């Protein structure tokens, strides 16, 4: 690898937020560079047709360049878009979704305005890597460095909610005091409403009694809910406060709902954007008391229960029995009786699934990154007039949209939602309606 610098004009932007240029017959992927800029960069790798580098100096800055707010942005991989202003970030995400739709020959009748909220201190959950570094004689807590396996040395995080950002320094200090500090690889932290925080400390060896006492004292001091994890997810146990419900919660005031969740449960990490997304999804779905609605990949009821406030009846389906239990728990907690939940692997055939033998007027789909192709292929059996698809992967949304169009649905509208500002993650939402005839 050459240990030199060079100058290049940047003509494009990669999907991981790096600038693209060409020099000496090679395509170059440059950290910290933007389209329209001329930058001086340092090579980090060189191959015959491709090279990579890091920006050393921006000679001609782009109009979309923004000063990063986080002091750790050059090393931490948690955010890769902080050098791009918010308007350009969302435009880039919309352009990526449009490219994927075009690849599947699908075009919406209308583009929805981008859905946005606060762009700083929005994230209420994080999995933080932990590593004690003998040479530095201290513990690192944070996200990984860019393009390697090491933990970035950070003291705060500009996208975590303040109470989680402030926790980073506190965690480093307490882990430094533990005898088992070298065998703690991660801490998961979640913030519920009302300032409640839960942490799950993963430990690869049995905790000495003194270490356990120190962690409990730490949790007591900061009023955290402490869980310990010695192995797989089934080993997660609450250590403090004992004999209390293993739940945090968040509210959806517009629907008079409080949803309970375990710190291991999936939930949307951006609380305010989640509320706005639910409002948008329901405005597109437009449920009424005459509707029987199917909510696929329903999780703990994030969409199911708001829909139930307006629809006649809602059926939620999720692959996890634990989430089915959580759905019923949240329905009871909010005195909702016009719902039912079922566990079914939605990548498998629907043979024997009683809930799938009846029709639905409307459907909401909120799948994982892999999409919903298997269930989409069977969607016609439900005879729904309207489908709202919430996606965390524009590539699989476009693929599934092509399938829905082939089944006789029309893509009415689509738009991006900025669930993860300053990252390359693209959340989007689409409305499909059944073609007449």
d(CA 12, CA 33): 9
Q: How far is CA 436 from CA 37, 111, 410, 412, 433, in A?
A: 50, 22, 10, 13, 9
Q: How far apart are CA 353 and CA 370, in angstroms?
A: 22
Active-site annotation holds for 392? yes
Cβ neighbourhood burial of 200 (10 Å; 0-12, 13-18, 19+): buried
Q: Which residues of 130-142 are buried (b: 16+ CB within 10 A; e: fewer)?
A: bbbeeeeeebbbb
Question: How many Cα atoms within 13 Å fall on the side-chain side of residue 142?
Answer: 26
Closest CA to 282 of 255, 319, 251: 255
Distance CA 287, CA 298 (A): 16
Annotated active-site residue in 76, 79, 180, 392: 392
Q: Give the helix ranges, DSSP H, for 14-150.
A: 86-103
Rounded distance between C-alpha atoms, residue 244 and residue 262, angstroms: 12
Of the candidates 297, 200, 301, the one whose C-alpha atom is nearest the C-alpha of residue 246 is 200
Indicate which residues carry an active-site annotation: 392
């Amino acid at each position: 690898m050459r240990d030199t610098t060079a100058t290049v004009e940047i003509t494009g932007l990669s999907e991981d937020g790096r600038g693209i240029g060409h020099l000496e017959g090679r395509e170059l992927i440059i950290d910290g560079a933007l389209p329209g800029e001329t930058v001086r960069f340092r090579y980090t790798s060189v191959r015959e047709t491709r090279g990579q580098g890091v920006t050393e100096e921006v000679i001609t800055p782009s109009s979309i360049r923004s000063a990063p707010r986080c002091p750790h942005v050059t090393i931490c991989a948690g955010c890769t878009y902080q050098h791009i202003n918010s308007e350009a970030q969302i435009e880039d995400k919309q352009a990526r979704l449009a490219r994927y739709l075009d690849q599947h020959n699908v075009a919406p009748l209308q583009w929805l305005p981008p859905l946005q909220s606060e762009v700083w201190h929005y994230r209420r959950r994080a999995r933080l890597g932990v590593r004690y570094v003998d040479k530095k004689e201290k513990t690192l807590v944070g996200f990984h460095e860019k393009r390697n396996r090491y933990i970035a040395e950070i003291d705060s995080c500009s996208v975590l909610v303040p109470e989680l950002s402030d926790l980073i320094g506190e965690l480093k200090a307490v882990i430094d005091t533990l005898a088992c500090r070298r065998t703690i690889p991660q801490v998961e932290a979640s913030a519920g409403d009302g300032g409640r925080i839960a942490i799950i400390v993963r430990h690869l060896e049995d905790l000495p009694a003194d270490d356990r006492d120190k962690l409990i004292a730490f949790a007591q001091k900061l009023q955290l809910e402490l869980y310990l994890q010695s192995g797989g997810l089934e080993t997660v146990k609450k250590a403090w406060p004992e004999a209390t419900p293993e739940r945090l919660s968040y509210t959806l005031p517009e629907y008079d709902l409080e949803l309970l969740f375990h710190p291991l449960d999936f939930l949307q990490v951006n609380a305010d954007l989640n509320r706005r997304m639910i409002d948008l999804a329901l405005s597109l779905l437009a449920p009424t008391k005459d509707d029987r609605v199917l909510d696929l990949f329903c999780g703990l009821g994030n969409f199911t229960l708001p829909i139930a406030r307006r629809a006649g009846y809602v059926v939620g389906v999720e692959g996890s029995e634990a989430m089915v239990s959580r759905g019923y728990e949240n329905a009871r907690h909010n005195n909702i009786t016009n719902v039912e939940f079922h566990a079914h692997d939605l990548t498998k055939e629907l043979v024997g699934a009683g809930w799938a033998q009846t029709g639905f007027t409307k459907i909401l789909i909120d799948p994982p990154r892999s999409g919903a192709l298997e269930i989409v292929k069977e969607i016609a059996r439900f005879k729904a007039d309207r489908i709202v698809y919430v996606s965390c992967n524009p590539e699989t949304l476009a693929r599934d949209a092509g399938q829905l169009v082939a089944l006789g649905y029309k893509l009415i509208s689509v738009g991006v939602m900025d669930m993860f500002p300053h990252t390359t993650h693209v959340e989007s939402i689409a409305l499909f309606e059944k073609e007449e005839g």
